[in-house]
Amino acid sequence: MRVIKHFILFTIVFQWSITIYGQNKPNIILIVSDDAGYADFGFQGSKIMKTPRLDKLAKESVMFTQGYVSDPTCGPSRAGLITGRYQQKFGFEENNVPGYMSKSGLTGDDMGVPLEEVTIADYMKKLDYKTAFYGKWHLGGADRFHPLKRGFDEFYGFRGGARSYFPYENLPASHLDKMERGFGNFEEHEGYLTDVLAENAISFIDKNKNDPFFIVMSFNAVHTPMDGDEKDLKQFPNLTGKRKTVAAMTLALDRACGNILDKLKALKLDENTIIVFTNDNGGPTDKNASVNKPLSGTKSNHLEGGIRVPFLMKWPNKIKESSKYNYPISTLDLLPTLYVAGGGKVSDLKNIDGVDLFPYISGVNKNRPHESLYWKKDARAALRKGDWKLIRFPDRPAELYNIEEDISEHNNLANKYPEKVKEMYKQIFEWELTLERPLWQLKKKFEKFDIDRMDKYR
């Protein structure tokens, strides 16, 4: 009897220590949408898009009003996110486009995150997390870059940058567009891809409900091709053309996110799960009719509309609901933030550019997480320093904006503050000295170059 009493007491104390000291690791789901417009969610002010589940998530989260990506295009942005480093530091400066060859001889499949780079999944596995990746990879098509070789235990998705939302009846033009389960098991899905990806994530949650898990839910929605499900298109009778289709695709994205959240609640995991929702770059206002207002610019450029994205983070009882954080932060910060939340130490992380955001969110650290943020592609570059932003062009004078006072970047102050321009120009040059040469540069006319096909992967 005494032994039983001692066991019960030990169990109570152990559970209490988990609650007090945070030894019960939170589950983590990182949701990344693709090419969504900054203003194309209800929680971002849209009166057209129907996003009730994400709007509810926003009310339960902290909203980062100045959330940035590290590049205004898909591949480089994702390379920065998954490593917590400026991707230019390991030469991943341009999209990896299948079917083309760089000046150095690299083909599309060979263009990936170098193997010596440590991914967020590598780090989470060290903390005994079960790891999974669903959807668009776009970080290297060759086998050596495969998600299962970059820290993930499970993969269901496609290696490339864009594909049909409906099953292919014939083989796609690029083998990287084929759906793949695990490693090398290629088989087309049944149904609408956005829904199918969520279903696979839900299955993983069910299988690993007793273990801490880390999921990257990498939707290809709402990237082209413009494929709306018929039932979703019917929800927008007053819209036409691409705007109607992107609204339908966004509704499907919202539904898929909601289904994942419902599964967490059904398993009583929702109170111990961190949810992050963000986008990989600004919306392309031409190709999918996305809306970035009040931001100027679009995907592929360094105006705010190309690099500022919706950004939510929920952690029940840890992050204040329906709150806002107004200093600039970056998707580079996700790796250290989530690693620390899982029980890791910042000192374990080597050569990263992101920071742990929780001291800032909580108010313990009242400074800015970043005094400076950088962007670069070829000769184009941008620097956000405090509230000032300089954009450098290869073919015309630089532009200077005060983002705090001019979010839409309408008032170029370069002529008014020439010394500020000079100072920030010099800072960009100094940062560029820390970077590697690009491993590939696709803007030059290499053999078999096809600009229309390249644009598909942007």
Q: Which domains does the chain have, with CATH numbers?
A: 27-372 (3.40.720.10), 379-437 (3.30.1120.10)
For residues 53 and 37, give the distance between their C-alpha atoms in angstroms, rounded to a whole number: 17
316 Cβ partners below 8 Å, 6+ apart? 60, 270, 271, 272, 273
pLDDT at 440: 83
Mean pLDDT of 400-415: 98
Does residue 196 carry a pLDDT above 80? yes
- Label residue 364 by pLDDT band (50, 70, 90): very high
Q: Is the pLDDT of residue 451 over 80?
A: no
**Torsion over CA of 328, 334, 338 and 340, rounded to 10 degrees?**
-70
- Are 51 and 42 in contact by the 8 Å Cβ rule? The answer is yes
State residue 334's pLDDT score: 98
Q: What is the pLDDT of residue 442?
A: 62
pLDDT for 430 beyond 80: yes
By percentage, how much of the chain surpasses pLDDT 90?
85
Locus of tokens 């910042």: 346
Tell me which residue has tokens 């709150």.
323
pLDDT score of 215 more than 80: yes
Binning pLDDT at 50, 70 and 90, where does residue 353 land?
very high
**Average pLDDT rounded to a whole number, residues 94-123:** 80
Higher pLDDT, 5 or 147: 147
Distance of CA 3 to the CA centre of its chain: 51
**For residue 76, is pLDDT > 80?**
yes
The per-residue pLDDT for 99 is 55
Q: Is the pLDDT of residue 455 over 50?
A: no
By residue count, the chain amounts to: 458
d(CA 354, CA 334): 7
Average pLDDT for 16-21: 37
pLDDT band at 108 (very low <50, low <70, confident <90, very high): low
Between CA 302 and CA 321 the distance in angstroms is 31
